[in-house]
Amino acid sequence: MDKKKVVAPLVCHGHSRPVVDLFYSPITPDGFFLVSASKDSTPMLRNGETGDWIGTFQGHKGAVWSCCLDKHALRAASASADFSAKLWDALTGDELHSFEHKHIVRACAFSEDTHLLLTGGMEKMLRIFDLNRPDAPPREIEKSPGSVRTVAWLHSDQTILGSCTDMGGVRLWDVRTGTIVRTLETKSSVTSAEVSQDGRYITTADGSTVKFWDANHFGLVKSYNMPCIVESASLEPKYGNKFVAGGEDMWIHVFDFHTGAEIGCNKGHHGPVHCVRFSPGGESYASGSEDGTIRIWQTGPLNSTEQETSSANVPNQNAADGITHQIENVHIAEEDKTDGSD
């Protein structure tokens, strides 16, 4: 079952500094897409299947910490150390709007209905911008207890989740009331939080462990200790039977979701892995590293059932149904906070 693991990944060059965030679009009529954020200040858009470069979004003046696409892959958003979040036309690369903040912006996420953009960062404040009225003041949500590291929407845009750089736990806000209604407790700061494509699970990485939470009742479903300090984790979206994690040891580890057993390990990066994400059909997953490259790894089938039903290069349109956006952001070292003036 590990024979597929030795297949060389697609290596995507282009960024001149570390890659700190990756985001896959859902499957669209034109295929699916991958957007990457880097400290080099230029998010890049790629064909999600081949890794081929499509375009670069130019306009930020500092490190870009987070990036995302709306569910139609028509617009992109990015969050930067230059105290702004920007909205982009993903077809032309044009900057549509710049949302100014008072400090470094670490995280951004489109709502499922694509009308809203959520941001968070060093101001310890969540803001919701109405993309139909981009010049209108944003709605500000109850202050986060710490500097915001990751944000995501769930429950059809009724709930927001966020984690902090300087404390453990994932907080859940009720969008209607703007108040924190639940905290998922973790020992360390959560550096990656992903809502599964079917909306069932929240996957968190907090350094020493990867945890899976029930996204509706918020109970802890699984918790696995990791072989190294991991910064990011992603659950396979089609079968939900495995997950990948990456971190300080520069390797991409593949684990069985049900048992936590390591079933594969991919080596190739020359620096710590900051982000890992599965493609929307589960046929591959991408990793972004301190070494400035993105690598796209093919997923090997685990059993005969998968082999019969999996068609690696023919995306399943149903996978796009009911997609839940997933966002993760990455660790900022104290000295990197100066990246706002790059």
65: region left, alpha or beta (phi > 0 left; psi from -120 to 50 alpha) = alpha
Asked if residue 103 is part of any domain, the answer here is yes
Q: Is the pLDDT of residue 335 over 90?
A: no
The mean pLDDT value for 46-70 works out to 98
The mean pLDDT value for 246-250 works out to 97
What's the pLDDT band for 290 if we cut at 50, 70, 90? very high
Asked if residue 280 is part of any domain, the answer here is yes
What's the pLDDT band for 301 if we cut at 50, 70, 90? low
Burial classification of residue 316, based on how many CB atoms lie within 10 Å of its CB (0-12 exposed, 13-18 middle, 19 or more buried): middle
Q: Is the pLDDT of residue 337 over 90?
A: no
CATH number of the CATH domain containing 40: 2.130.10.10
Asked if residue 310 is part of any domain, the answer here is no
Separation of alpha carbons 149 and 121, rounded Å: 6
pLDDT of 6 = 57
Owning domain of residue 63:
18-298
Q: What is the total count of domains within the chain?
A: 1
The mean pLDDT value for 71-93 works out to 98
Asked if residue 5 is part of any domain, the answer here is no
Asked if residue 291 is part of any domain, the answer here is yes
pLDDT of 207 = 95
Asked if residue 142 is part of any domain, the answer here is yes
Asked if residue 141 is part of any domain, the answer here is yes
What percent of the chain lies above the pLDDT cut of 70?
A: 86
Q: What is the mean pLDDT of the chain?
A: 89
Q: What is the pLDDT of residues 4-54, one digit of tens each?
A: 445 789 999 999 999 999 999 999 999 999 999 999 999 999 999 999 999
Residue 327 near residue 109 (C-beta atoms within 8 A): yes
Higher-confidence position of 224 and 1: 224
Asked if residue 330 is part of any domain, the answer here is no
